[in-house]
Amino acid sequence: MTSNKPKIVVLGAGYAGMMTTKRLTQKLEAEEAEIVLVNKHNYHYQTTWLHELAAGTLDPNKVRMLISDVIDTSRVDLVHDTVVEIKKDENRVILENGELEYDYLVVGLGFEKATFGIKGMEENAFSIQSVDSSRLIREHIEYQFARYSSGEDTNEENLNIIVGGAGFTGIEFVGELAEQVPKLCKKYDIDRKKVRIINVEAAPTILPGFDEDLVDYARKSLEFRDVEFRIGTKINECKPDAFVVGDDNEEIKGGTIVWTGGVQANSILGKSGFEIFKGKMNVNTDLRAPGYENTFVLGDCAWVMNKETDRPYPPTAQIAIQEADTCANNIAALLRGGELEEFVFDNKGTVASLGGSHAMGTIFEGKKLYGKTARAMKNVIDNRYLFMLGGPNLVLKKGKLRPF
Ligand code: FAD
Ligand code: NAD
């Protein structure tokens, strides 16, 4: 059925897409606009928990929820399809199984791994990008343990898990592995000493750029639980069974190889002819694509400039959620003829889990948190998002309610 109402199409049901859709249903009257949300799966997932799924410490169904359970389907048309291209000059989106026209477009298609052209990385390394890609990692690790335990594979090096990149994703992942590997060793009757978790980082420190005290705390906490770090070690190539590193092309062997060395905007933006700068798109302060007054680009697809530092904010779930508010306000302003607002980031801090009850981070004006307090705060942050999205029922269903 076609309507005469302006049509808002939201691409991607991640943090940015879900919260924009939710806010649009709250800010607009039903007769003001038709809202369509397109996603490749019928579920929304918590990207910030994927490292737990990948390590095997969290069940896949805890990470995801049916979109129709949290979005008001009397107000929003859900389209379960994959975006192929945005015809930005024709106000059309091409999907795998059809196409959509729009008056206003919100792009929240998230990130893809960036491999920077490193030979073999694309083909040989797993990555933590989606529920499915993360589930593969968990299955593969267990497969390696089962093969070794059964005697089918006698090569001990295949038990090694090697992780490329010690940014927040890499560090949170090895933290979960530090908790999970001892359990798998027990399950498969394998000596824990035989399994190495090796995190390789090109910079001279893990978590480059982050607070030194907290970095030091994280490193000690992880090394205490037998995570090995190779810092100042650049990965030049990824073979099916090894990272090739450093000036002398040393091989670090492993049976499970995971790349957490960087992310970039969904490649659909570049393929659709939008200008990409250092992997993402520079957007205006009102979050619109330069030159496209009806198109907003949010979350991991976008660089939003911090006027104070003249550098873009690092894209995170926290910022994606806040951008959704500004985007919904600005679409309402366009529909009603008001002024558009500038996006201003309210930085609430950064907290990273290190597995189990371990965590560290900063909140508000740089207050540092360590250990169980930090871990509890991480749960509060994650549960707060669920509350904003689906109220107390969603927190009860999908939240992290046990302390650790
Ligand atoms: P996403 O959440 O990635 O959502 C994109 C959506 O688009 C997905 O639903 C996807 O299925 C859909 N999609 C993709 N392609 C298509 C297509 N072609 N057609 C249709 N649909 C499509 N940030 C924090 O602030 N705090 C944290 O603690 C934190 N932890 C993290 C832990 C991990 C392991 C990772 C990987 C990231 C973490 N981040 C964290 C960063 C954060 O997850 C991202 O910045 C955030 O997910 C970006 O939100 P988004 O809405 O732009 O994209
Ligand atoms: P990142 O870009 O932050 O980190 C990638 C790391 O890989 C860097 O330390 C880089 O030096 C290293 N690297 C790159 N090329 C390499 C090579 N050839 N050899 C060895 N090391 C190499 O990527 P990420 O960790 O996936 O994070 C992506 C975004 O998500 C960031 O904005 C981050 O802040 C956010 N995030 C936040 C949290 C949190 O707040 N708890 C958790 C995960 C991710």
Backbone angles phi, psi at 111, to 5 degrees: -110, 165
379 lines ligand 1 (CB under 6 A): no
173 Cα–ligand 1 center, Å:
16
Question: Residue 30: inside a domain, yes or no?
Answer: yes
CATH at residue 281: 3.50.50.100
Q: Is the CB of 129 under 6 A from ligand 1?
A: no
**Which residues 6+ apart lie within 8 Å of 296 measured at CB?**
20, 104, 105, 106, 107, 283, 287, 288, 289, 327, 330, 331
Q: Are residues 100 and 146 in the same domain?
A: no
Which-ligand-closest: CA of 362? 2
| Domain edge (last residue) among 199, 230, 259 | 259
Residues 190 and 226 in one domain: yes
Last residue of a domain, one of 231, 259, 287: 259
CA 362 – ligand 2 centroid, Å: 18
Q: Calculate the average pLDDT of the chain.
A: 96
d(CA 404, CA 394): 19
- pLDDT for the residue 115: 97
pLDDT tens-place string over residues 45-74: 999 999 999 999 999 999 999 999 999 999
The number of folded domains in the chain is 2
Same domain, 319 and 204: no
Q: Residue 365: what pLDDT?
A: 78
Mean pLDDT of all residues in 276-294: 96
Gap between the Cα atoms of 295 and 169, Å rounded: 30
Pocket test for ligand 2, best of 316, 362, 380 (most atoms within 8 A of CB): 316
Q: Are residues 88 and 19 both part of a single domain?
A: yes
Q: Is the pLDDT of residue 324 over 60?
A: yes
Provide the residue range defining the domain that includes 204: 121-259
For residue 314, report the distance from its CA to the centre of ligand 1, in Å. Answer: 13
Percent of the chain at pLDDT > 90 equals 95
Same domain, 219 and 285: no
Last residue in a domain, options 238, 259, 280: 259
Q: Name the active-site residue from 172, 179, 201, 323.
A: 172
Ligand nearest to the CA of 313: 2
Kindly state whether residue 323 falls inside one of the protein's structural domains. Answer: yes
CATH of the domain at 203: 3.50.50.60
Q: What is the residue with the minimal CA distance to atom 3 of ligand 2?
A: 167
- Tell which atom from ligand 1 comes closest to the C-alpha of 317: 25
Same domain as 85, residue 176:
no
**Do 236 and 272 lie in a common domain?**
no
Dist. CA 176–CA 195, nearest whole Å: 15
Can you tell me the distance from the alpha carbon of 27 to that of 29, in angstroms, rounded to the nearest whole number?
Answer: 7
Predicted pLDDT at 3 = 77
Query: Is residue 146, in this structure, part of any structural domain at all?
Result: yes
**Does residue 314 lie within any of the structural domains?**
yes
User: Tokens 């343990």 sit at which residue?
Assistant: 145
Q: Is pLDDT of 1 > 80? A: no
pLDDT tens, residue by residue, 71-109: 999 999 999 999 999 999 999 999 999 999 999 999 999
**Per-residue b or e along 334-368, where b marks 16 or more CB atoms closer than 10 Å to that residue's CB:** bbeeeebeebeeebebbbbbbbbebbbbbbeeeee
Q: Does position 259 have pLDDT exceeding 70, yes or no? A: yes
In a domain, 368, yes or no: no
* Whether pLDDT at 112 is above 90: yes
pLDDT value, residue 33? 98
Residues 125 and 220 in one domain: yes
Q: Two tokens at 98?
A: 């059809």
323 is known as an active-site residue:
no
The string of pLDDT tens digits covering residues 347-404 is 999 999 999 999 999 998 789 999 999 999 999 999 999 999 999 999 999 999 876 6
> Per the domain annotation, does 282 fall within a domain?
yes
Closest atom, ligand 1, to C-alpha of 130? 11
Query: pLDDT value at position 120?
Result: 98
**Same domain as 238, residue 129:** yes
Q: How far apart are the C-alpha atoms of 210 and 217, rounded to whole Å?
A: 12
CA distances for 242 relative to 86, 178, 203, 232, 253, angstroms: 38, 20, 20, 17, 4
Assess whether 233 and 269 both reside in one domain: no
Q: Nearest C-alpha to atom 12 of ligand 1 is from which residue?
A: 12
Is residue 329 predicted with pLDDT exceeding 70?
yes
- Per the listing, tokens 């480059």 go with 208
Query: How far, in Å, from the CA of 40 to the mean position of ligand 2?
Result: 25
Mean pLDDT of 307-336: 95
Instruction: Report the relative pairing of strands 161-164 and 256-259 from DSSP bridges.
Output: parallel
- Residue for token pair 């410490």: 57
Q: Is 13 in the pocket of ligand 1 (CB under 6 A)?
A: yes
Q: Hey, which of 48, 354, 383 would you mutate to test ligand 1's pocket, going by the most ligand atoms within 8 Å of its Cβ? A: 48
- pLDDT over 70 for what percent of the chain? 99
Distances (CA, A) of 343 to 52, 89, 100: 31, 25, 28
The helix (run of H) or strand (run of E) holding residue 326 is helix 317-336
Residue in 20, 21, 47 to alter for ligand 1 test, most ligand atoms within 8 A of Cβ: 47
CA end-to-end span of the chain, whole Å?
Answer: 49
Residue 307 has a pLDDT of 84
**Ligand 2 atom nearest residue 378's Cα:** 41
Residues 142 and 106 in one domain: no
In this structure, which residue's CA is closest to atom 37 in ligand 1?
48
Same domain, 317 and 240: no
Tokens (6 digits) for 158 = 């295949």
338 within domain boundaries: yes
The rounded Å distance from CA 163 to ligand 2 centre is: 12
Give, in degrees to the nearest 5, the angle at Cα 338 between 337 and 344: 140
Residue 46 located in a structural domain: no
Whose C-alpha lies nearest to ligand 1, atom 30? 48
- For residue 330, report the distance from its CA to the centre of ligand 2, in Å: 31
Q: Lowest-confidence range among 98-102, 164-168, 283-287, 309-313?
A: 309-313
